[in-house]
């Protein structure tokens, strides 16, 4: 399915087979401990489900000084 991903200020539309936020983060090689994810503007836990045309925003939250 096709979803829109926004990560570190960059947005892209991509094909994925991931059906949950957790699976998507694994697919992208992102540790779930380090980010907060919003789907269609709403913050969701990693168990949150994804569907066609969802807009996913991934915010990096680990400190860097």
Partner 1 sequence: MASCSCGKKPVYERKYEGNSYCASCFKAQFEKRVKRTIREHGLVGKNDTIVVGVSGGKDSSVVLMLMKKIFGKRPDIRIIAVSIDEGIRNYRDKSLEVTKKLAKRLGVEHYTAGFRENLGKGLDEIMKRSHEKLNSCTFCGVFRRYLLNRAARELGATKVCTGHNMDDEAQAVLINYLKGDAKRLARMGPNPSIAKNGKFIPRIKPLRDVPEKESALYAILAGAGNYWGECPYVSGIRFEVRDFLNETETRHPGTKFSFLRTFDSMLPVIRETAKKTKKEIVECGICGEPCSGSVCKVCGLLDKLGIKLERHGQFSIEKTR
User: Does position 19 bind partner 1 by CB under 8 A?
Assistant: no
Residue from the set 36, 40, 51, 53 that interacts with partner 1 by CB under 8 A: 36
| 31: helix, strand or coil | coil
Q: With binding defined as CB under 8 A, does residue 53 bind partner 1?
A: no
62 binds partner 1 (CB under 8 A): yes
Residue 54 φ then ψ, to 5°: -65, 150
Residue of 27, 49, 51, 53 interacting with partner 1 (CB under 8 A)? 49
Which residues 6+ apart lie within 8 Å of 50 measured at CB?
A: 1, 3, 16, 18, 19, 20, 21, 24, 39, 56
Binding positions for partner 1, rule: CB under 8 A: 31-34, 36, 42-49, 59-65
């Amino acid at each position: 399915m096709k979803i829109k991903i926004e990560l570190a200020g960059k947005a892209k539309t991509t094909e994925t087979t991931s059906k949950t936020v957790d699976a998507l983060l694994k697919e992208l090689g992102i540790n779930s401990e380090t980010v907060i994810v919003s789907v269609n503007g709403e913050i969701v836990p990693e168990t949150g489900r994804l569907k066609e045309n969802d807009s996913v925003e991934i915010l990096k939250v680990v400190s860097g000084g």
